[in-house]
């Protein structure tokens, strides 16, 4: 993926006032960076505990949650004129299909049965409840504006050639939102990365899914802000292919940054998000 390789510089790390979890007195790790009129921050914390799991499960329709769910993790972009963008896990899980298993593999029935026996989910699964056990989501961020939110379709595209130009990295970070090994049937992961350069910043929110001997799926949301513009671009794409159609080795299949170039695009759109 162009533009997301870099070394994280020293950032400001401190417990954020008012942002500690109601379930724990341990502070989250927050890195903050001010870039022109933007306040950028990443928040990283431990994995969800059992008490939090019960709380989250009572709010979502899903009979099971990802094994590694970081409910306190998020990336925030806040502009001085009122636009705010937050990338976080729970709104992403709200967009997972809670009523249908859309991917059938030989071991899916056994996988669902194994979930049925877990103590954390037993009360929710008196019978096997079909749902999207891959946790596929089309979440592309939680966006709001203190004034009026303006988002428009555009023919403009992110200039990836410009992103390939070597620049000084002012800030870089990666935040994992959730992950699951699908009971050894593959991997599903939602994560986000940000890179800030003198010319602007680039954010990648990626959902990656590999179901062994079945398919690979990548849903990407990219945000790009160029210094001096009164908007940023949000590009969303869905890529997918069956394993049998991919003439690549297994090592490449497990590298989400490389395999994406081998997957056909099923859906794409680009929008302008205005700052004012």
Run of H or E including 215 = strand 215-226
Q: Higher model confidence: residue 167 or residue 122?
A: 167
Tokens linked to 219: 């849903």
Own/partner pairs for 147-151, CB < 8 Å, 24+ apart? 147/81, 147/82, 147/276, 149/83, 150/272, 150/273, 150/274, 151/234, 151/271, 151/272, 151/273, 151/274
On the question of pLDDT at 108 being above 80, the answer is no
Question: 């992110």: which residue's tokens?
Answer: 158
- What's the CA gap between 127 and 226, in Å, rounded? 52
**pLDDT 10s digits, 76-95:** 999 999 999 999 999 999 99
**Strand partners of residue 196:** 171, 201
Burial of 71 (0-12, 13-18, 19+ CB in 10 A): buried
Tell me what pLDDT residue 184 has: 87
Average model confidence (pLDDT) for the chain?
Answer: 86
Tell me what pLDDT residue 124 has: 40
Tell me what pLDDT residue 100 has: 86
Tokens linked to 250: 């297994």
Tell me what pLDDT residue 242 has: 93
Cβ count near 220 (within 10 Å) = 19
On the question of pLDDT at 187 being above 60, the answer is yes
Tell me what pLDDT residue 16 has: 41
Distances (CA, A) of 26 to 15, 19, 20, 29, 229: 9, 11, 7, 10, 39
Burial of 252 (0-12, 13-18, 19+ CB in 10 A): middle
**pLDDT 10s digits, 149-181:** 999 999 999 999 999 999 999 999 999 999 999
- Nearest by Cα to 60 from 99, 97, 94: 94
Distances (CA, A) of 7 to 113, 128, 174, 222: 43, 45, 11, 20
- What's the CA gap between 134 and 101, in Å, rounded? 9
- What's the CA gap between 218 and 27, in Å, rounded? 32
Distances (CA, A) of 133 to 97, 124, 172: 9, 15, 32
Tell me what pLDDT residue 224 has: 98
Confidence of residue 110 (pLDDT cuts 50, 70, 90): low
Confidence of residue 254 (pLDDT cuts 50, 70, 90): confident
Tell me what pLDDT residue 219 has: 98
On the question of pLDDT at 6 being above 90, the answer is no
On the question of pLDDT at 123 being above 50, the answer is no
On the question of pLDDT at 1 being above 90, the answer is no
Between the two ends of the chain, the Cα-to-Cα distance in Å is 30
Q: What is the mean pLDDT of residues 52-80?
A: 95
**pLDDT 10s digits, 198-248:** 999 999 999 999 998 899 999 999 999 999 999 999 999 999 999 999 988
Angle made by CA atoms 227, 233, 234, in degrees to the nearest 5? 140
Given a contact cutoff of 8 angstroms between Cβ atoms, the answer to whether 246 and 253 are in contact is yes
Burial of 13 (0-12, 13-18, 19+ CB in 10 A): exposed
On the question of pLDDT at 263 being above 80, the answer is yes
Tell me what pLDDT residue 10 has: 34
Task: Report the residue count for the chain.
Answer: 276
């Amino acid at each position: 993926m162009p533009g997301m390789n870099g070394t994280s510089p020293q950032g400001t790390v401190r417990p954020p006032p008012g942002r500690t979890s109601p379930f724990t007195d341990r502070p989250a790790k927050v890195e903050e960076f001010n870039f022109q009129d933007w306040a950028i921050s990443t928040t990283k914390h431990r994995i969800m505990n059992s008490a939090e799991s019960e709380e989250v499960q009572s709010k979502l329709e899903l009979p099971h949650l990802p094994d590694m769910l970081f409910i306190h993790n998020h990336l925030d972009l806040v502009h001085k004129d009122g636009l705010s963008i937050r990338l976080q896990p729970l709104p992403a899980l709200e967009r997972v299909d809670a009523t249908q298993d859309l991917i059938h593999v030989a071991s899916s029935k056994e996988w669902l049965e194994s979930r049925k026996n877990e103590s954390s989910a037993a009360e929710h699964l008196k019978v096997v409840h079909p749902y999207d056990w891959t946790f596929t989501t089309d979440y592309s961020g939680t966006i709001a504006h203190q004034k009026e939110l303006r988002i428009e379709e555009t023919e403009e595209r992110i200039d990836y050639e410009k992103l390939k130009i070597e620049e000084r990295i002012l800030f870089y970070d990666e935040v994992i939102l959730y992950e699951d090994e699908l009971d050894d049937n593959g991997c599903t992961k939602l994560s986000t990365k940000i890179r800030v350069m003198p010319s602007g910043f680039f954010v990648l929110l990626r959902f990656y899914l590999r179901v062994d001997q079945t398919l690979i799926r990548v849903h990407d949301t990219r945000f790009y802000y160029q210094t001096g513009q009164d908007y940023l671009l949000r590009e969303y794409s869905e890529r997918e292919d069956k394993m049998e159609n991919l003439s690549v080795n297994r090592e490449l299949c497990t590298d989400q940054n490389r395999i994406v170039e081998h997957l056909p695009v099923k859906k794409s759109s680009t929008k302008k998000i205005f700052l004012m």
